[in-house]
Structure 1
Amino acid sequence: MIFGEVDAGLDEVPGVVSVYAGRLDAPPSWLRHADVTHYAASTMKLAVLAALHRAAEAGRLDPDAPVEIRNRFTSARPDAPPFSCARHEDNDDAVWDRLGKHAPLRWLAERMIVRSSNLATNLVIEHVGLPAVAEVWTLAGARHSVTGRGIEDFAARQAGITNLVTAADLAALLDAVATGATRPGPIATPAGCAAMLDVLRAQQVRQDIAEGLPAGARLAHKNGWVRGVRHGAAVVYPDDADPYLLVVCTTTPLADDQRGDRADAAARRLAADISARVWRARHDLTPAGSPATPPSAPR
């Protein structure tokens, strides 16, 4: 196993580090705790993006029709009052600056990804619905991931309704989108999948996996972070090798910055180091085995 030494080194990292690495449309080359669930943070926005494109292709909504930008959302807990987002927890002033005005859902979906806007995410969820997001996970073949509520729906969170992902499930969704851009797949039409990849390539928060790649390396990706959690999920497109998937999910004290800095440097370096090592092995990403080598149990 070409990543055996790296895997052993990660055993010394506190918490749980999950990794999925391998070429598109192929068995993985490296699995580490790939089926362990983590709090999703903003990686759940990948499934929300796909749900919007599916709804548009089915004619259930027009992504270019203007919708009102408001900060009032339906809780996933049936008996709870509406909830709202906190502007200081968001990363995108552009959406907040339009509060009380109108903007197309397509634009909101882009801001949800490229700047990880929480307000835009909840607006898109309000229009596509959580069942549509669940359908995306099912169609991708995800086994453990769930998007049970919007962001900052604290009443739902207190009731145990949460958002979870695994490295393997995020890889399955990205694989379905990336391969679906070249041939019909389960998530959307090739045109829809290509449009999603364009949004993921336009990502402006180039941290985590992106930081471990050479300057100018092409990737389509989404990351996510909250205190104690730091994730990155990407399709990487080397010029000299086949495209590959890399997902790194970490639930670790390294991401628990007591100063409240969400972009914790140690957790980012960990993801970047894993990314750099996979990049160096990009010509040797052969399947780890059939069936794939199982991850060791987390401590």
Structure 2
Amino acid sequence: MLSVVVAPWGSGEPVFVRAPDELHYAASTMKVAVLAALHRSGVDLDTEVPVVNRFASAVGGEFGNSRDGDGDPLPWELLGGTAPLRTLAERMITHSSNLATNLCLAAVGHEAVAEVWRRAGATRSASPRGIEDHAARDAGVDNLVSARDLVRLLRSLDGDMLALLERNAFRVDLAAGLPPGTRIAFKNGWVAGARHSVGLVHPGDCPPYLIAVCYSGLLASGEDVADPAARLVARISAAVWQRRHGIAPR
């Protein structure tokens, strides 16, 4: 299943949609909602929190993250100590750390994340559980997104959050389809069977635009970089770039 939404930045309806409301497993795109919840919580981002690997499951009990399944080693090096929420939020976005995500989520709570989706105007997407809460997923409690809702979510962010998204280190999908040096604030997510990316692109010769691509299928290998589905997303990004002058509010 392939879903695509392209829309002007700011107000305006999408100029192109393909299966925009189809639900996909969220993978790491849900980390954008956690980031927004953290920024809007009023908590001091320089607050030091314990770096632990035990979290409350959405269905009761506890769960932990797998170090081998996390692409970011830095939070694991801090295990047993403390770290500022600001640092954890940065690693959650720039290096897609699962451990940092669950620590940020524990600091704000699931209801705050649900409010982020509501405030964005999302109609189908939700993030009711933490990363690797397998018991919850087995019970049918899952993180799901649609391409349309991801565009709505990015549109609801302010400058500081978007600036952080520009520092995303995994630039093999949406960013790879753009000319070198093109500004893009984006977050991607990948697991075996799914590859998604949503971003705000800043061309130098026309207004910025939003693009979300969600792919679920056998093409997605689950590799962070060498994922065939990432190349598919890059090709779609490149095709939209070629038509960027036609992306304007209707």
Count of residue pairs brought into register by the alignment: 249
d(CA) in 1 for partners of 2:103 and 2:184? 27
Matched letter for residue 77 of structure 1: V
The counterpart of 1:248, out of the listed 204, 213, 234, is 213
Whether 1:63 aligns to 2:45 is: yes
Q: Report if aligned partners of 1:237, 1:244 keep a CA contact under 8 Å in 2.
A: yes
The residue that corresponds to 1:225 in the other structure is: 190
The residue that corresponds to 2:28 in the other structure is: 42
d(CA) in 2 for partners of 1:94 and 1:156? 27
TM-score (norm 2): 0.97
d(CA) in 1 for partners of 2:38 and 2:192? 28
Matched letter for residue 275 of structure 1: S
Q: Report if aligned partners of 1:227, 1:262 keep a CA contact under 8 Å in 2.
A: no
Of structures 1 and 2, the larger Rg is shown by 1
TM-score (norm 1): 0.81
C-alpha RMSD of matched pairs (Å): 1.2
Question: 1:1-299 maps to which residues of 2 (within 5 A)?
Answer: 16-24=1-9, 25-56=11-42, 61-78=43-60, 81-177=61-157, 193-255=158-220, 257=221, 261-286=223-248
d(CA) in 2 for partners of 1:200 and 1:262? 17
Which of structure 1's runs of 4+ aligned residues deviate more than 4 A? none
Partner SS, residue 254 of structure 1 = coil
Give a deviation string over 1:26-82, Cα, whole Å, max 9, x none: 1111000000000000000000000001102xxxx221110010101000003xx21
**What runs of 5+ residues in structure 2 fail to find an aligned partner?**
none
| Per-residue deviation, 1:195 | 1.1
d(CA) in 1 for partners of 2:247 and 2:187? 22
| Per-residue deviation, 1:264 | 4.7
The residue that corresponds to 1:4 in the other structure is: none
Matched letter for residue 24 of structure 2: H
Partner SS, residue 88 of structure 1 = coil
**What runs of 5+ residues in structure 1 fail to find an aligned partner?**
1-15, 178-192, 290-299
Q: Report if aligned partners of 1:146, 1:164 keep a CA contact under 8 Å in 2.
A: yes
| Per-residue deviation, 1:221 | 0.3
The residue that corresponds to 1:188 in the other structure is: none
d(CA) in 1 for partners of 2:156 and 2:169? 23
| Per-residue deviation, 1:286 | 3.8
| Per-residue deviation, 1:198 | 1.3
What percentage of aligned pairs have identical amino acids?
Answer: 51
| Per-residue deviation, 1:276 | 0.2
d(CA) in 2 for partners of 1:266 and 1:62? 40
d(CA) in 2 for partners of 1:145 and 1:263? 26
d(CA) in 1 for partners of 2:195 and 2:138? 22
